[in-house]
A and B are shown apart, each in its own frame.
Chain A
Amino acid sequence: MDFGFTDEQALLRESVTRYLEKNYSFEARRALVRSDRPFSPEVWATFTELGLLGLPFPEGVGGLGGSVVDVVAIAEPFGEHLLVEPYLPTILLAGRALAAAGEHPVARDWLARIVAGDAHGALAHEEGRGTPDPARVATRCRRSGDGYRLDGEKRLVLGAAHADVLVVTARIDDGTGGLALLVVEPGASGVRITPFRTIDGRSAAHVGFDAVEVPAEHCLTTDAHAAITATLADAVVALAAEGVGAMTALLRRTAEYAATRKQFGVPIAGFQAVAHRLADMRIACTKARATLLRTAALAEAGRAAPRDISVLKAQVGRLGRAVGEAAVQTHGGVGTTDELAVGHYLKRLLAIDAMFGDSEYHLRLVGAGTPAV
């Protein structure tokens, strides 16, 4: 067994880290988050140059044929630097769902534009029930003339407010109960987009579909269950890597702070109550990272079972939240302000926990012995 990164992965990770260290300071990120579009064309252009946009796609569609471990190698630094660029919605969700739909001309066309850095996408899938399980999708699409008519409501669709294309999951109303995957243009008649910012600085939207007419050729498949499950499994691994990156950064910053912040004339790390909280943060980080790397290796080999993905999602969600809360407590008053990165890491970790089923959801799946993702 070998759970280390390859030389190539280490190199890519290093160049991403170097770039972010230089260009993605906390202040620069803050300015981005406060702007109208909370992401940066310059960063996206650099990601295109570095090959990050094509990384997780097959060579046949202009990708680099990278694996989920390649994505983990760059997603950890994303988390360490609190990157808000829409890599998850555009590349790992919409892009991967399009790629999973197979040889479909409409999908291939959008994918080419995404890989080239010319388009952003969003995957409209979850419906506010706290589960990513495709079997729970209630949005309906029924035959209408030559095409389909789409009705339903998707909640917290990352990137939807700025997406050029929406990839939508819907229950097909033809008696089979299959899961359809549709390409919908955000400007189409009947698409209601309610944009908002998330607590962790991302652009998202609730998206409603009121009798939206979708041309037949924009229905990529009516049997998308497996494709969506696979897409979400890899996205969970990448999101977990971001979470572990954020946890690692918090542990480092908090140890640094506790070693230098003095009260009662001594560094607070000398107080056992504080020291033991630091120790628990270290333990949580070790658990989460070990599970991340092991699960990523399994996923790369095509052997990650739903239970493995649920364990990873639950551990990073639960342990990440604990590390975030401990970091705020250790920083004291200043940790509760918007001015310090610590609270922003906590908010990122809260968001990571809540997405694709939170830790309580996944723990219960594991305990029931029937994980469903």
Chain B
Amino acid sequence: MDLDSGPDLDAFRREVAEFLDTAPTDAIREAGRKTTSVFAPFDETMAWHRILARKGWAAPGWPVEHGGVDWTVEQRFVFTEEYCRRDLPPLLPNGLKMIGPLLIDLGTEEQKRRHLPGILAGDDYWTQGYSEPGAGSDLASLSCAAVPDGDDYVITGSKIWTTLAHRANRMFMLVRTSTAGKKQQGITFLLLDRLDLPGLRIRPIVGLDGFPEQCEVFFDEVRVPQSARVGAENDGWTVAKHLLSHERGGSTGSPWLDRFVRMIRAAAAERTSPFGGVLADDPVFQRDLGELEADVASMRHIEELAISGHPIADDPSFPSVNKTVNSELTQRLTTLMARVSGLEGLALQLDALGIGSGTAPLGDDFDLVSMPYYLNSRAASIYAGTNEVQRDLIARSLVAGR
């Protein structure tokens, strides 16, 4: 085993810290403090994306020839650690972690040339059109139809849980192009390079936290060119599965969870236990926080082993293990946040959560974000394949691999 291969990390850490200390605007920092979702406040986060892109640091996980950064595993963790330590908003994942890597792997040269620069630069935001009202966990029964007509497809149907579609200018989606054979076989993967198309209507959906993060998108004979297809017609399921592997695994998510732990610890040091004394000294609180910290540490170790190429990540169910662990830890951490806030978390403070709203929170920043974060993260075990589906996949691979 070897912990210390690679370049001098201290110098690298200083370089990263200096940039992260100076580059973000006040609005970007405010957005970081007020982040209550995987999807941080849109305008400020995209502005921050563009600043990072100009520095060349927007896509550390991408191949260098497509604009990635030539960093070692250790450097990637150092970057993420320093990033999370500063309460900066995480970049929106759809472009950088989903459609970008997918196009790098499976797109045509024309598609790469056309779409990757905008994704990398932070000029475009892509929403994901997968789920439908009748096709959630059973995604393959989707019915939103695309009918070939000349050089075009004509799309009719609807998509739901299209995150921030009302702010998006692009969409990648799955459509039904055939009803013959198995339901997985008639699906096609399409890229929409604009959303202000005739016949396309977007309805924002207000979530449990009070914010319109999700949307429903209606298609009424919407026309898109067939050249917008990724992969072959009726082979979209293969493309989608490839993308899911990007969505579920290979990440450095644990430093973000460490941030929750630090927030909880700091908040508990300033609060009184219902039994008197400081909450941080309460044995039950210590035990519960300790359990979460230990699990966050294990997730960090899983990620480090995976990124360093250890065979533990070769198991076919590894992406599902990763998704399940990450989402459930997020939920358990935000549950403890809401618990620490207690009554203070019950105040509805939508205005104070707005960036630049000027509305001061009733209490501190922790109490402002804890309940919205808890409510928003209820979706973590549902999106990207419910954790029930993930556990099915894990068990199936165990039984098949025995």
Contact = CB atoms under 8 A, between A and B. Distances in A.
Contact of A301 (B4, B73, B294, B392): B4
B397 to A, nearest CB: 8
Contacts of A279: 324, 390-392, 394-395, 398
Given A1-B308, A282-B398, A300-B1, A272 B290 contact: no
B396 A275 contact: yes
Interface in A263-306: 267, 269, 272, 274-276, 278-280, 282-283, 286-291, 293-298, 300-301, 303
B287 A364 contact: yes
Contact of B312 (A5, A289, A301): A289
Interface string A1-32: 11111100000000000000000000000000
B396 A303 contact: no
B395 A315 contact: no
B267 interface: no
Contacts of B1: 2-6, 69, 293, 296-297, 300
Contacts of A116: none
Interface stretch (A158-166, A179-187, A365-373): A365-373
B292 to A, nearest CB: 8
Nearest to B325: A283
B395 A368 contact: no
Interface stretch (A34-42, A97-105, A130-138, A252-260): A252-260
Contact of A287 (B308, B325, B391): B325
Interface of B: 1-5, 73-74, 265, 281, 283, 285-291, 293-295, 297-302, 304-305, 307-312, 315, 317-318, 321, 324-325, 388, 390-392, 394-396, 398-399, 401-402
26 contacts: A1-B74, A1-B308, A2-B310, A3-B305, A3-B308, A4-B311, A251-B398, A267-B399, A274-B395, A276-B395, A278-B395, A279-B390, A279-B394, A279-B398, A283-B325, A287-B298, A287-B325, A290-B301, A290-B304, A294-B305, A295-B301, A298-B3, A315-B297, A364-B287, A367-B290, A368-B290
Interface of A: 1-6, 69, 251-252, 255-256, 258-259, 267, 269, 272, 274-276, 278-280, 282-283, 286-291, 293-298, 300-301, 303, 308, 311, 314-315, 318, 360, 362-369
Given A4-B311, A255-B401, A369-B265, 19 more contacts: A1-B304, A3-B308, A5-B1, A269-B395, A269-B399, A279-B395, A286-B315, A286-B321, A293-B305, A293-B310, A297-B1, A311-B293, A311-B297, A318-B294, A362-B294, A363-B291, A366-B290, A366-B294, A367-B285
